[in-house]
Structure 1
Amino acid sequence: MPHSATVDLSGKVAVVTGSGRGLGLAYASALAAAGAAVVVNDIDEDIARKAADSLVEAGGRAVAEAVAVGTAEAADRLVDRAVSAFGRLDVLVTNAGILRDRVLWKMTDEDFDAVVATHLKGTFTCARAAAVRMREQGEGGRLILVGSPAGQRGNFGQTNYAAAKAGIAAMARTWSMELAKAGITVNAIVPVAATAMTETIPVFAPYVDAMRRGEPLPDALRKGEGFGTAEDCAALVPFLASDAARDVTGQCVGIGGDRLALWSHPQEVATAYAEGGWTPGTIAAAWHTSVGREPQSVGIPAPRLPETR
């Protein structure tokens, strides 16, 4: 086991969007356990309130704010709630999201717009409002954006979701540069866990059912696939919110099960040169023996799991 350091967020205030249940609630709970006051957000008022109450019952400080993220008005409400309840804002976790999976030729404008509005625009509007407040405070801050393996590699049937999550990774890199002078770090996390979004995947279903019966997940999942519970992913958020991560910014960090990983940024992996420039014909002649010799793979690799009983 690695050595452990103390992560203390006492005096810090966080907003976690989409934190009424699942991964969002796990993030909010981990922040509260580390000492931060938390604004719990969900579109459903009862769910948001119950989640906030659960943090308070566990000894934390929390309030609820029910609003659908996406608009500037919603973002301002969340920031204002943090300031009115706890006096400041130090951490924003943009977790809120929805799915509208369809293959390209069946995806409607509404399917596309709804996912992009929640994930991509919701991340943008909330981060903008948080950045304005953090810069006014003049004491730095943390933006923790929630990405996905689909945004890193693409995923069948998820044009809208993969595009939004890829955009979130790009925004993390961009904002890390723009906000560095203000002492605000910006990172994207790439969680993999048993949630309402993943439990419908057939290959994982029997393991999720077994987990709910109290059976442990096998190492092939926890280590090989980096797949576990929502709580397994939560530790990364207090770390990135803490002083221990003051020099970590512009990164995409994966977590799930027993695995912690750093995702690479896109970069050129092969180059070729033609004196005076390229023509369509010279590219065609050179492609398979130069830059196209080892094409990059796409999609999330299929899990390699043991047979279930």
Structure 2
Amino acid sequence: MSLAGKVAIVTGSGRGLGLSYAQELARQGAAVIINDVDQATVDAAVATIIDRGGKAAGVVAAVGSTQTAQALVGAAEEKFGRLDILVTNAGVLRDKSLLKMTDEDFDLVINVHLRGTFTCVREAFGYFKSNDVAGRIITIGSPTGQRGNFGQTNYAAAKAGIVGMVRTWAMEMKRAGVTVNAVIPVAATEMTKTVPFFRPAVEAEERGEAMPDFYRKDLGFGTADDVAGLIAFLASDEAANITGQAIGAGGDRLQLWSHPEAVRSEFNEGGWDYTALQARFNELFGADLQSVGESFPEMPAELKAQLA
């Protein structure tokens, strides 16, 4: 087992994607700190690992505060003697269109996803640096953070911000030998279950059936377990040269996302005043304006019928 002797924290790991990540890390030999906001959920998740011969302990706390980050790192040291891996998975949704989104909706999502990632990574990196550990940090992004999505102002801001922090941290952590990457999962979860387009895939998984090929092969949409292997790989010694990356996983597909790059550059003597922009912008840049949101291939007729 490639992670034997390692200790991992996985936030938001009581169920769903986070639980799959924790179980796979344990399957590869790591002891795991399970974190969620409900005691019964945490206890049940811990039991799934221990019952399979793994090592796990739980911390019940809401991610976001420095105190929670300290408690998680402290629990890893207390229960298992060290920390090697952090996976920041905890998240919530409060989807509403812009004019309906309240301050509370915005602040909650930003606090859990973005601030929670920041506080937990800061605490873990402090531990790694102080103890000369070549640690592994894996944050969780989203296609929404990469491309945008209707009704998800708060979530898009948080997930885009996480990837931005990863690029910065990769530079700051390089000398310490710590890697940090963002994983972009596309999988059946409580969050995707409510999207009609994905319903046939989610319902197939709930029945214990294989997802239709359209989802796995054309959309790159799969199960939580399809993402868990990437989490364990990035936590391993074999991934020591991979840092600052955004890597997508879902179904049969693996993706390496590019960092933002200029698609076209033009120079104008004396700069670009209003008159110059009015005269030349559309001619120079109109054909290269970027799309927003995700585009999907045409759904097969038999799957469309299931949504009718």
TM-score by length of 2: 0.96
Provide the residue aligned with 1:260 in structure 2: 254
Provide the residue aligned with 2:128 in structure 1: 134
1:97 and 2:91 are equivalent in the alignment: yes
For residue 234 of structure 2, the aligned residue among 228, 233, 240 is 240
1:28 and 2:7 are equivalent in the alignment: no
CA distance in 1 between counterparts of 2:177 and 2:297 reads: 39
Q: C-alpha displacement at 1:38, in angstroms?
A: 0.2
1:181 and 2:175 are equivalent in the alignment: yes
CA distance in 1 between counterparts of 2:131 and 2:41 reads: 31
Q: C-alpha displacement at 1:207, in angstroms?
A: 2.4
Q: C-alpha displacement at 1:56, in angstroms?
A: 0.7
1:151 and 2:162 are equivalent in the alignment: no
For residue 106 of structure 1, the aligned residue among 96, 100, 104 is 100
SS in 1 for 2:287: coil
Structure having the higher helix fraction is 2
Q: Deviations over 1:199-254 (max 9, x none)?
A: 10011112211222222112211011110111111100110000110000000000
CA distance in 2 between counterparts of 1:121 and 1:15 reads: 17
Q: C-alpha displacement at 1:304, in angstroms?
A: 3.0
Q: How does 1:51-66 map to 2 (within 5 A)?
A: 51-66=45-60
Residue identity opposite 1:291 in structure 2: F
CA distance in 2 between counterparts of 1:304 and 1:129 reads: 45
Q: Deviations over 1:94-125 (max 9, x none)?
A: 00000000111111000000000000000000
Provide the residue aligned with 1:220 in structure 2: 214
For residue 120 of structure 1, the aligned residue among 105, 114, 119 is 114
Q: C-alpha displacement at 1:303, in angstroms?
A: 5.1
Residue identity opposite 2:189 in structure 1: T
Q: 1:54 to 1:151 in 2, by over 3 A?
A: same
Q: Deviations over 1:7-62 (max 9, x none)?
A: 60011100000000000000000000000000000011110111011101111100
Unaligned runs of 5+ in 1: 1-6
Residue identity opposite 1:162 in structure 2: A
Identity, in percent, stands at 55
The answer (yes or no) to whether the contact 2:216–2:252 under 8 Å persists in 1 is yes
The answer (yes or no) to whether the contact 1:221–1:305 under 8 Å persists in 2 is no
The answer (yes or no) to whether the contact 1:220–1:304 under 8 Å persists in 2 is no
SS in 1 for 2:191: coil
1:202 and 2:196 are equivalent in the alignment: yes
TM-score by length of 1: 0.96
SS in 2 for 1:253: strand
Unaligned runs of 5+ in 2: none
CA distance in 1 between counterparts of 2:121 and 2:208 reads: 38
Q: C-alpha displacement at 1:293, in angstroms?
A: 2.3
SS in 1 for 2:196: coil
Answer with 29-38 or 271-280: which moved more: 271-280
For residue 191 of structure 1, the aligned residue among 175, 182, 185 is 185
For residue 12 of structure 2, the aligned residue among 9, 14, 18 is 18
The count of corresponding residues between Structure 1 and Structure 2 is 303
